[in-house]
């Protein structure tokens, strides 16, 4: 049975990894996508969504536009898109780092500008989605919260700084978790495990730990204490991670680098220096 949550005609302008993950999550949840259009110059089909190659083929002005291309393409795409929107169109941008003011300057006639920071697990409806808007009314905020809650945890933020923090932690986080799982598997191989077994053990260990914490509401320190017996094997490994806060420092440095790049993208958009690229994803 389909669920009618999309607020009318919706365009996905660019539908690469992240926007595609959102579509996948909504589709698996049975969200009605008959009024959705994916605009991709490549013509590569998006399953469950009518796919066209240009804005001109998309049809009547949309109720919602989801910007799902790379931030560097903004100044190439915005002029052709802005001319097709109506005063009732809501812009939902998942462009990393591009602030509301920069979007408003490109789409002055839009009804509202909303920034969304989802992460890749929205594809399996276990994502984290940060939302921010300076001009969305309560009805729109509630409507979007209902729509995105299908994909995971939703948090309306009070500022773009908060949204950027969610983007740096949750948006980039899956890549860092994936690297940790790979490193755990590699360590298993070094201890003599078959690579396939090591990969499965590492993945299930991380998945199970996260599930345990979510189910029991335990903090990470409490779980670590439960695993680590005094003077035992786990405690010996934790001593390495805890020495000079090396593990915290490494993750902190990665998040800082992600946040710094977001700031650079924001500055480029503010300065009208967003690079021109060739096509939508």
DSSP-based three-state secondary structure for 265: helix
CA 64, 24, 113 angle in degrees (round to 5)? 25
| 156 and 34, same domain (yes or no) | yes
Residue 2 backbone dihedrals phi, psi, to 5 degrees = -80, 155
Residue 271 counted as domain residue: no
Residue 85 is given by DSSP the state -
Enclosing domain of residue 226: 173-263
| 226 and 87, same domain (yes or no) | no
Cα distance between residue 46 and residue 105, in whole Å? 30
| 59 and 154, same domain (yes or no) | yes
Cα distance between residue 184 and residue 85, in whole Å? 49
Residue owning tokens 């949309």: 62
The pTM for the full model equals 0.88
Compute the residue count for the chain. 281
From first to last of the 281 residues of the chain, give the pLDDT tens digit.
Answer: 456 788 789 999 999 999 999 999 999 999 999 999 999 988 889 998 999 999 999 989 999 999 999 998 999 999 999 999 999 999 999 999 899 999 999 999 999 999 999 999 999 999 999 999 999 999 999 999 999 999 999 999 999 999 999 999 999 999 999 999 999 999 999 999 999 999 999 999 999 999 999 999 999 999 999 999 999 999 999 999 999 999 999 999 999 999 899 888 888 888 765 443 334 45
CATH code of the domain covering residue 83: 3.40.50.720
| 204 and 104, same domain (yes or no) | no
Residue owning tokens 């590569």: 44
| 214 and 133, same domain (yes or no) | no
Q: How many separate helices (H) and strands (E) can be counted in the chain? A: 10, 8
- Residue that is last in its domain, among 93, 128, 160: 160
Residue 166 counted as domain residue: no
Cα distance between residue 204 and residue 28, in whole Å? 23
CATH code of the domain covering residue 205: 1.10.3730.10
């Amino acid at each position: 049975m389909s669920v009618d949550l999309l607020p009318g005609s919706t365009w996905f302008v660019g539908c690469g990894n992240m926007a595609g993950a959102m579509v996948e999550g909504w589709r698996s949840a049975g969200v009605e996508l008959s009024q959705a259009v994916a605009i991709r110059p490549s013509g590569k089909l998006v399953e469950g969504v009518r796919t066209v190659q240009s804005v001109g083929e998309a049809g009547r002005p949309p109720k919602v536009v989801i910007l799902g291309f790379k931030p560097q393409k903004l100044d190439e795409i915005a002029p052709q898109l802005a001319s097709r929107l109506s005063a009732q169109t809501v812009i939902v941008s998942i462009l990393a780092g591009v602030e509301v003011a920069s979007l408003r300057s490109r789409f002055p006639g839009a009804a509202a500008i909303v920034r969304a920071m989802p992460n890749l697990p929205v594809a399996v409806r276990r994502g984290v989605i940060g939302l921010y808007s300076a001009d969305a009314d309560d009805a729109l905020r509630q409507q979007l919260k209902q729509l995105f809650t299908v994909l995971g945890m939703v948090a309306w933020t009070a500022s773009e700084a908060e949204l950027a923090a969610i983007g740096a932690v949750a948006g980039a986080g899956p890549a860092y978790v994936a690297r940790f799982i790979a490193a755990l598997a590699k360590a298993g191989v070094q201890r003599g495990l078959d690579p396939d077994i090591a990969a499965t053990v590492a993945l299930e260990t991380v998945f199970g730990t996260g599930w345990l914490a979510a189910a029991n509401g335990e903090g990470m320190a409490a779980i670590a204490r439960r695993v680590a017996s005094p003077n035992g094997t786990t405690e010996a490994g934790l001593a390495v991670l805890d020495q000079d806060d090396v593990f915290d420092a490494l993750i902190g440095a990665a998040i800082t680098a992600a946040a710094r790049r977001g700031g650079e993208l924001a500055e480029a958009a503010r300065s009208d220096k967003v690079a021109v690229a060739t096509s939508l994803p």
